[in-house]
Amino acid sequence: MKKIKGHIKKSYYVYALLAVIIAGCVAAGGYIKNIHADDQNYVVADEVVINGKTYTSSNKMNILMIAPHEAYDEIGILMGDSEGAIKFTDLMAKAPSDITDGTFRDNVIKYQTFTNNNGLLMNTPYRIGYKFPDGTITENISTISSADIKTKLNGKWSNLKVVITKDGKEIPYRNIFGAMIFDNYDMDNKMNLSVKKLADVTMSDLKNADLVYISGHSHNTFGIDIYNYIHNSSVGAWSYLRNNDCGDFDADEALYLLLSYAKGEKKVIFDSTARQDGDNGMNLNKIGILFTAIDPDVLISDFAKVKEDNGNYYGTKGSIRIENNQIHLYYKRTNDEIKFSANMFLNYGNNFAVSTQDRDGESYATRVQDYKDGYPCYADSGYPYYNSNAIGKYFVNPSLFVFDGSNSMTSSFTSDKVNTTDGSGRDYKGTTFDDAYNKNGSNGELHPADAIEYILGVYTNTNINSIKVLEIEPAGFSRYNNDDGKKAIASWFGIAAKQYNDIKSNITVDCYSMTAFDGLNKDIRSDYDVVIVGAYDYDRFNTDIYKTPYDAEMKLNDYTLTGNDITHKAYEKLYQYVVVGMPLVLDDGIYYNLESVVDGDCTNLKDVQAVSLKKRLVSEISYAKSNIVHVNTRGSEAYKLISKTLYYVDKPYVNIGPSIGGSRISDYSEKSLSNGNLSADGTVANTSLPDMHFTGSLSGNGSYRVKIYVDRNNDSIFAENYSGEKNELIYYEKSGSGAATDANGNILGVLVNGGSFDVAIPLPKTLRGYIKWRVEVTDVTTGAVKNSEGAFAISAGTATKTIKVLQVENDSETAHINLTGDAFTNTFERTTSVTGLSVDIVKVKKSGLNKEIEENSDYLNQFSMIVLGFSDNYGNDSSDSSKNLSDKANDALYEYIEAGNSVLYTHDSMSYKKGSSSSAASNENEINSFTRKFKDVIGMKSGFSLTDVLKLKLDSYKSGKKTLYYSIYDGISATGSTRVTNRVKQLNSGQITEYPYTLSSTPVISVSDTHAQYYQLDLEAKQDAEDVVVWYTLAGNGGESAKYFDYTGQDAVNNYYAYSIGNVTYTSAGHSMIDSEGDEMELFVNTFVRALLAGNNAPQVEYEDAEQIDGNNYAIYYRQRPNTDSLTIKYTVTDADIISNAGQVKESYLYWDRDGDGVYTEGTDLRIGYLDRDGNVFTEKLSNGGVYCGRLYSLTLWDTRGVCSSNMTADVLSEMKDKMANGTLTLGIVAIDGSKAIGYASLQIAYRPLFNLN
């Protein structure tokens, strides 16, 4: 995270609300589009919800058709008898009393010809039919004589009725325009059409319209003939909008339509013949070019972010101005005007209306490139600029459909095939065809009607049964966890208000602040279905703004601000969510990166704006998506219209988990206390681990990519590492000796088909503790991801392992948790039957530890874990330096941690004070050496938290700053006490929350009084280290002082209570005395166990067909003198951190234990040679690692074919054989892992003859 120093300020907008939705699998009602409508008995929906707006027979969708004249209407006749400008009812009103009147009959024929034959419905299954009183229907009345018409109509034209036929059969619905678009009849009687001549269009017309259709010219003269007959007029048939034959938009009207389209508020169908290629002085022509010459989001971002008082707009690159009722574009930095042309944003030749000569010492090309800076622009086109003439026959993006206009738009509605791809890389055309195919196409085809359905936002959103919302706000408040909020979200998916009550009980909302989301370890691709990023508003967050978690009066003008920015790690999680097609809803201010909401380019959240996301999408997957939408999340607007309906992504059905012997392993759960010992479900004997399988089933149809992970370090993060000692990805698609990846380097899962699933996943039998697993399934067709997760525990059986723990105490203070007291001892010992662990606690004062390490630098290596803290000493005991840890002790502790050993840090072990004094440090060098040395190691950042403010705009923090800002620096004092609370709240789920005590059922736990610490956590992902994982944060308790912790909303950056980073574990327990059993002590025991299990495990060496004398010593006994011609050694190396038969130790070698002490002694014993992964022996150390863990090796001595070592000289071989013959030869194998932990075992070749007994 980045961070800014500056004046504390309030702003009307904070930064970002992130909400996410997960849907279920059973349809619950609402407007669910039916693509197989029963033509005769279809039940028309009462309500249709599109983009959050509800359409009914009394609240219709308004369509505005703009044409050279209203007589050019080509839609009304398809919507109803009284729709549009050419109404059948108006025609019938002109019917003469003489039914044989030829002129009227000709117009009745033209009405049918206008649509049928080669008319508007050409190439579709629909026709306009005339129905006679006897029930007969004709699709071509011209074939019936006047006399027969008179007879069939009983002498009255009023008896003639219009009906719709489909494939020759009458259907009881009139709106075939809606039917062709939506594939059903739900919009019957829910559409209203207004047809206007371009010159007659008003601002009111545009504002009232939901869909604007701009038709460039007449595609069929029969409609004009009918219009002229009805109105006794003489409208011509060959007017073109582009020729300015019919007037023009006023500039403010054109600009309103352009920006409304760009924001997704208006959907536009555009006949490409309505404009020319260059600037013809028409506002229509200008917006027609801009429709397809620039990405709509970039248009807003670059030119129209903010509206000025004079009605002009400006953005980051330039401005849009109205001058003399004309739209003009200007380049911001030099105020050059940009000329309108099809390639106005592309080439250097003539973009700008100024001459191309150099000006003010700057070349023309430099000015142009400066405008383009920040986008991957090329000589021709590429996001976000395009050649507006090179769009092909069709163009589609989320709010725009362009057709070439050669024929009427509707004539090819269901027959013509729209363009096939968005292109790739530099050839990206600015379209979203691929996205439209996925949402609205069928059988590999996308028709014009499908494209219009796509821009309107009508999808086949079936099977929505439950909606789970993750709401992320700038602080601890919720906007959508109420009935209005849930109803709005349901409407965004197209669920009508009448059906909302059927589903609302299945809508749940999880609320987090952004600083909580930064620390959240959920896979949002699997768990949620929509992400909403909103902005601050006083209606939801009207509390006081606390400057710090301290009641101190701050006396400086400048403070270090904590910020509530998104981390790079959290951003990447969000981006991957977008890549797989899940909908992301951004507040308008986030979507366009408005400075009133986001603190500009200094934040990470700038990368969440639509322009940045789409830029990366186009770069990496070669096409954009329509799943990034926006809404005003502030005030009452939060529950109103969204820019585009949310597409519900069906996720695969996954039922896969671990099994042994054909039986699935249940999830671990604390079950009961029996005879004072804990019992649990979901435990597995370690001897069964090598026989483990993952079994179950997937959705029956389709192809999937499957990856399986095991959380080896219990951090609830399933890492992508597939090789090395602690690989967590254990099932994936292999490629040679590595992993198969996609074009962007993402590791692929194994390709499988739906149905049953069974794969062997052997695990090391030396594993211990709590094992969390994940099966990740990706639908190959849709990209949708669904995980199956769970956990089991390794059964301890009757074996108990004693862990030696060193507790480092202060010389002058009593620790607030007594590790040898009854409360801890009883709570810990109850779990021994589950964990198989007992502890041997050794206590030492700091001064005593200094002495021990002074005498023995390896003193710490005898302990499996070290515990520090449990008091308010800030790493200092007193001004007496002998009572604080010495530099040597600090160095030894640092090396202990770096070697992978377990350390538990506790409350106030890090200091903000100047040395051992009571005043605060004025710079980092004044902080005590203990804090300086370990702050980064344990995941804390530079900078203090206790001066940080809950900021109302997105802000950031640059990690690694050397200067520490603090309000009492420079000798200025602050007085006050810490904000104390006695509640903590679970943030992530994993071993600390589940094992050995299951605490997740109580997410808020009462604890002894405690407070926040002094340094922020670094929650970014690490390239070469493990990530910080926050398990619990401080929470409010209803008291006035603790409200801060509620307002900050589980702030994982500042208000952490328990977290871990690799082999280091931290708890804020210890501010107050903890001396009783209960939830708090159980949480501490879970934390303690996590720390015990977090350390690196050393390899173990075992010999087959040998007797174990003691821990690391084995023997093969011969009753007769052994044959020295051959010696076979069978051995296995295991490591709890390394998957059997998959991972290698870093180094392994065979040695001759000459002094017989059981260990390898450099200079005394002889290293025979290094063991490679095939078990062969070589003189030199191997670059490709040692033996595989879990594999049984057989080494034959003295077979030189397997022992290629120069150390095996003839003299050495002779001496070893003599020792073997006498039964005094001792060999040994050493295995060393990547953390330099050493495992070894010796093997004595012993001669033990049997004595004759009397």
Span 245-258, pLDDT tens digits:
789 999 999 999 99
Q: Where in the chain is the domain with CATH 2.60.40?
A: 1100-1247
| Six token digits for residue 655 | 């039922």
Segment 234-261 shows an average pLDDT of: 92
Higher pLDDT: 8 or 535? It is: 535
Q: If you search the block for the tokens 């939901």, which residue do you land on? A: 210
What is the SS3 assignment for 195?
Answer: strand
CA distance 445 to 708: 35
User: What would the pLDDT profile of 1082-1128 be if each residue is shown by its tens digit?
Assistant: 999 999 999 888 877 778 899 998 898 887 889 998 877 777 778 88
- In one-letter notation, the amino acid at residue 1019 is L
pLDDT of residue 573: 94
Q: If you ran DSSP here, which 8-state letter would residue 616 be given?
A: H
Q: What is the pLDDT of residue 344?
A: 82
Q: pLDDT band at residue 798, thresholds of 50, 70 and 90?
A: low
Rg (the chain; Cα; Å) = 38
Q: Residues for the chain: how many in total?
A: 1254
Non-local (6+) Cβ contacts of 335 within 8 A are: none
Question: 374 pLDDT exceeds 60?
Answer: no
DSSP assignment of 402-460 equals EE--SS-GGGGTTTS--------GGG--S--HHHHHHHH-BTTB--HHHHHHHHHT---
| Of 1070 and 296, the one with more pLDDT | 296
* pLDDT score of 1200: 55
Predicted local distance difference test score (pLDDT) of residue 82:
94
Paired tokens of 785: 């991801």
The confidence score (pLDDT) of residue 1097 equals 73
- Would you say 1059 and 1090 are in contact if contact means Cβ atoms under 8 Å apart? no
List the structure tokens of 895.
Answer: 């090396």
Over residues 446-459, the mean pLDDT reads 90
Distance CA 1161, CA 1156 (A): 10
User: What integer is the mean pLDDT of 1124-1145?
Assistant: 79
Could you give the 3-state DSSP secondary structure of residue 131? strand
Position 746 pLDDT exceeds 80 = yes
Q: What one-character-per-residue DSSP string does 812-854 give? A: SS--SS-TTSHHHHHHHHTTHHHH-EEEEEEEEEHHHHHHHHH
pLDDT at 4 over 50: no
pLDDT at 1074 over 50: yes
DSSP class of 388: T
The DSSP bridge partners found for residue 1144 are 1188
What is the rounded distance in angstroms from the CA atom of residue 1155 to the CA atom of residue 818?
A: 44
Listed in sequence order, the residues at least 6 apart from 961 whose beta carbon sits closer than 8 Å to its beta carbon are: 3, 942, 943
| CA separation for the pair 9, 4 (Å, rounded) | 12
What DSSP character marks residue 799? -
CA angle 47, 51, 56 (to 5 degrees): 20
Angle at 437 between CA 431 and CA 440, to 5 degrees: 115
Could you tell me which residue, 1020 or 17, shows the higher pLDDT?
A: 1020
Q: Which residues of 472-481 are buried (b: 16+ CB within 10 A; e: fewer)?
A: bbbbbbbbbb
pLDDT at residue 537, as a whole number: 62
By C-alpha distance, which of 594, 490, 486 is closest to 536? 594
DSSP string for 481-514: SSHHHHHHHHHHTT--HHHHHHHGGGEEEEEEEH
Q: What mean pLDDT, rounded, does the chain reach?
A: 81
Higher pLDDT, 1138 or 375: 1138
pLDDT at 556 over 50: no
More confident residue, 695 or 317: 695
pLDDT at position 538: 53
The arithmetic mean of pLDDT across residues 706-716, rounded, is 92
Residue 267, amino acid: K
Structure tokens at 914: 């100047």
Global pTM value: 0.83
pLDDT bin (cut points 50, 70, 90) of residue 465 is confident
Q: Within a 10 A sphere around the Cβ of 423, how many other Cβ atoms?
A: 18
Residue of 90, 418, 24 lying closest to 232 (CA atoms): 90
Please answer whether residues 961 and 563 qualify as being in contact, where contact means their C-beta atoms are separated by less than 8 angstroms.
no
Q: What is the torsion angle, in degrees rounded to the nearest 10, for the CA atoms of residue 660, residue 662, residue 665 and residue 666?
A: -170
Tracing tokens 């709590």 back to the chain, one arrives at 770
Looking at residue 1179, what is its pLDDT? 80
The pLDDT confidence band at residue 804, using thresholds 50, 70 and 90, is confident
Mapped onto helix, strand or coil, the DSSP state of residue 428 is coil
Query: What pLDDT does residue 461 have?
Result: 59
pLDDT of residue 560 exceeding 50, the answer is: no
Identify which of 1097, 1104, 1200, 1108 has the alpha carbon closest to the alpha carbon of residue 1145: 1097
**Confidence tier at 400 by pLDDT (50, 70, 90):** very high
Tokens representing 1064 are 């280091």
| Pair type for strands 326-331 and 337-338 | antiparallel
Which residues, listed in sequence order, are joined to residue 214 by a DSSP beta bridge? 66, 270
Strands (E), 246-370: 267-271, 306-307, 313-314, 318-323, 326-331, 337-338
* Token duo for residue 458: 């009508």
- DSSP bridge pairs for 294: 385
Write down the pLDDT at residue 377: 39
Reported confidence tier of residue 871, pLDDT bands at 50, 70, 90: low
Q: According to the model, what pLDDT value does residue 92 have?
A: 95
Q: Are 1151 and 1228 in contact (CB under 8 A)?
A: yes
Q: How confident is the model at residue 942 (pLDDT cuts 50, 70, 90)?
A: low
Q: How many CB atoms lie within 10 A of CB 168?
A: 10
Q: Write the pLDDT tens digit of every residue in 581-605.
A: 998 988 888 899 887 777 667 678 8
Q: How sure is the predictor about 18, in pLDDT bands with cuts at 50, 70 and 90?
A: very low
Read off the pLDDT of each residue in 747-756 and give the average, rounded to a whole number: 96
With bands split at pLDDT 50, 70 and 90, how would you rate the model's confidence at 40?
Answer: confident
Second CATH level (architecture) for the domain 1100-1247: Sandwich (2.60)
CA dist 330 to 257, 312, 353, 766, Å?
19, 11, 9, 70
| Structure-token match 């959290």, residue found | 570
Alpha helices in 838-979 (DSSP H): 846-855, 887-898, 929-934
Tokens 């403070």 correspond to 559
Percent of the chain clearing pLDDT 90 (strictly above): 36
3-state secondary structure of 458: coil
Percentage of the chain modeled with pLDDT above 70: 83
Residue 209: its pLDDT value, please? Answer: 97
Tell me what pLDDT residue 211 has. Answer: 97
Residue 355: pLDDT band by 50, 70, 90 thresholds?
very low
pLDDT at 786: 96
* Overall average pLDDT of the 705-727 stretch: 88
- Tell me the HSE value of 26 on the side-chain side, using a 13 A CA sphere: 3
Task: Band the pLDDT of 1150: cuts 50, 70, 90.
Answer: very high
Q: Rounded mean pLDDT of 696-708?
A: 93
Half-sphere exposure of 169 (CA within 13 A, CB side): 5
In this structure, of 418-422, 666-670, 882-886, 948-952, the range with the lowest mean pLDDT score is 948-952
- Token reading at 572: 């990447």
CA 472 to chain CA centroid, Å, is: 13
Q: Please give the pLDDT value at position 258.
A: 98
Nearest CA-CA partner of 1149 in 1136, 1165, 1135, 1164? 1165
In this prediction, residue 562 has a pLDDT band, given cuts at 50, 70 and 90, of low
Q: How far apart are CA 282 and CA 199, in angstroms?
A: 12
Average pLDDT of the segment spanning 1051-1076: 85
Q: Which residues pair with 1149 in a beta bridge?
A: 1170, 1230
Q: What pLDDT does residue 21 have?
A: 31
Q: Which amino acid is at 543?
A: T
String of DSSP letters for 211-270: EEEE--S-S-HHHHHHHHHHHT----S---GGGTTT----HHHHHHHHHHHHTTSSEEEE
In this predicted structure, which of 81-90, 288-297, 1072-1081 has the lowest mean pLDDT?
A: 1072-1081
Residues 1042 and 549: their CA atoms lie apart, in Å, by 9
Tell me what the mean pLDDT of segment 763-775 comes to: 87
Average pLDDT over residues 203-214: 97
Residue 652 is given by DSSP the state: P
pLDDT at 546: 41
If one compares 199 and 418, the residue with the highest pLDDT of the two is 199
Task: Please report which confidence band the pLDDT of residue 636 belongs to, taking 50, 70 and 90 as the band edges.
Answer: low
95/81 Cα distance (integer angstroms): 15
Cα separation, 435 vs 178, in Å, equals: 22
Between CA 152 and CA 1151 the distance in angstroms is 111
Residue 1190 banded pLDDT, cuts 50, 70, 90: confident
pLDDT tens digits, residue range 963-979?
A: 223 322 233 333 345 67
Question: What's the farthest any 2 CA atoms get from each other in the chain?
Answer: 143
Cα–Cα dist 581/779, whole Å: 12
| Average pLDDT of the residues in 157-164 | 94
Q: Residue with structure tokens 């022509």?
A: 285
Strands 61-67 and 750-760: unpaired
Residue of higher predicted confidence among 534 and 617: 617
pLDDT value at residue 65: 97
pLDDT of 412 above 70: yes
Which residue carries 């080494």 as its tokens? 1195
